[in-house]
Amino acid sequence: MEYQTLTYSTEGRIARITLNRPERLNAIVPAMPREIRLAVERANADDEVHVIILQGAGRAFCSGYDLKDFAEADVDTPCTQSMPWDPMVDYRAMKGFTDDFFSLWRSHKPTICKVQGFAVAGGSDIALCCDLVVMAEDAKIGYMPARVWGCPTTAMWVYRLGAEKAKRMLLTGDTIDGRTAKEWGLVIDAVPEAELEDAVLKLANRMAGVPKNQLMMQKLMINQAYDNMGLANTQMIATLFDGITRHSPEGQWFKHYSEEKGYKEAVRMRDSGDPIPGSKSYKDYK
């Protein structure tokens, strides 16, 4: 199988899925979620594979959705519609991406995410769908679009952190480093970047010695507990809210500001800590 956005390889009982857009910090484009799902399905269908490692090529794991063109262009897409907008068009598109990412969680074989550099915005959605996350100590994770123009559709922050720390992250849009993520229990380990590959391989090899049926049963049992807590309903609400954030008054301001000033400047403003203007105040804010 040929992929546009990632590579797939196996060595012994371990499969590696590598996001492969290093020139864009492995930012997500429309083809990537589906290719992640296909690669996970490929690993699950391979009787030799026991464990899946997900990683990113180059300086970062994933910097989120590649939104520059979407934000700066004055064109309609399912996720950036003219007003009035159809929320179900938006939901169908984003729920498809969410389900593709969640193939990592639903995988019958364990998934480990290896994070260097950044796992932010949509990149954090992908990372937190894996069973275990190992970060470089100085890597950053967070969901900055929580400030405007986004809601994490996979909704894994609350399930991994609990309500208080999830609110701390999503009510500020802050990022934290690997050390803090480990201290908070968001990720299983954080090590110096030079030791990251060895730490991930040690963990993968430890699990790779376990029979596939044992791995599958343990995952299904644990995941069922999360399903019983309403994970599917939470994701439905989060994905609907994600669409609303892009079409709210503040979301409309962010889109207009990106078109005029550029996406990079709009992100700088979003993350600065200054109040987010609404669409009615856009002309005054220029």
Over residues 250-277, the pLDDT tens digits come to 999 999 999 999 999 999 999 999 998 8
Q: Is the pLDDT of residue 242 over 60?
A: yes
Q: Would the pLDDT of 136 be above 60? A: yes
State the pLDDT at residue 72: 83
pLDDT band at 279 (very low <50, low <70, confident <90, very high): low
Mean pLDDT of the chain: 95
Predicted confidence (pLDDT) at residue 285 exceeds the cutoff of 70: no
Under 8 Å between Cβ of 101 and 36: yes
Beta 118-120 vs 111-115: how paired, if at all? unpaired
Residue that wins the pLDDT comparison between 284 and 66: 66
Which range among 221-235, 246-260, 268-282 shows the weakest confidence by mean pLDDT? 268-282
The pLDDT, as a whole number, for residue 80 is 87
Query: Which pLDDT does position 124 carry in this prediction?
Result: 98
Q: What is the pLDDT of residue 74?
A: 79
Which residues partner with 140 through β-bridges?
Answer: 118, 177
Mutual orientation of helices 31-45 and 87-101 as an angle, nearest 10°?
40
pLDDT of residue 182: 98
Q: Which residues contact 40 (CB under 8 A, 6 or more apart)?
A: 17, 52, 103, 104, 107, 111
> pLDDT tens-digit profile of 19-48?
999 999 999 999 999 999 999 999 999 999
Query: In the predicted model, what is the mean pLDDT of residues 232-242?
Result: 97
Please check the confidence at residue 282 and state whether its pLDDT lies above 70.
no
**Which residues fall within 8 angstroms of residue 240, CB to CB, at 6 or more apart?**
87, 91
Res 68: pLDDT: 84
Residue, of 124 and 71, whose pLDDT is higher: 124
232 burial via Cβ count (<10 Å: 0-12, 13-18, 19+): exposed
- List beta partners, residue 175: 142
pLDDT digits (tens, 9 = 90+) for 196-213: 999 999 999 999 999 999
> Which pLDDT value is given to residue 280?
58
Domains and CATH numbers, the chain: 6-247 (3.90.226.10)
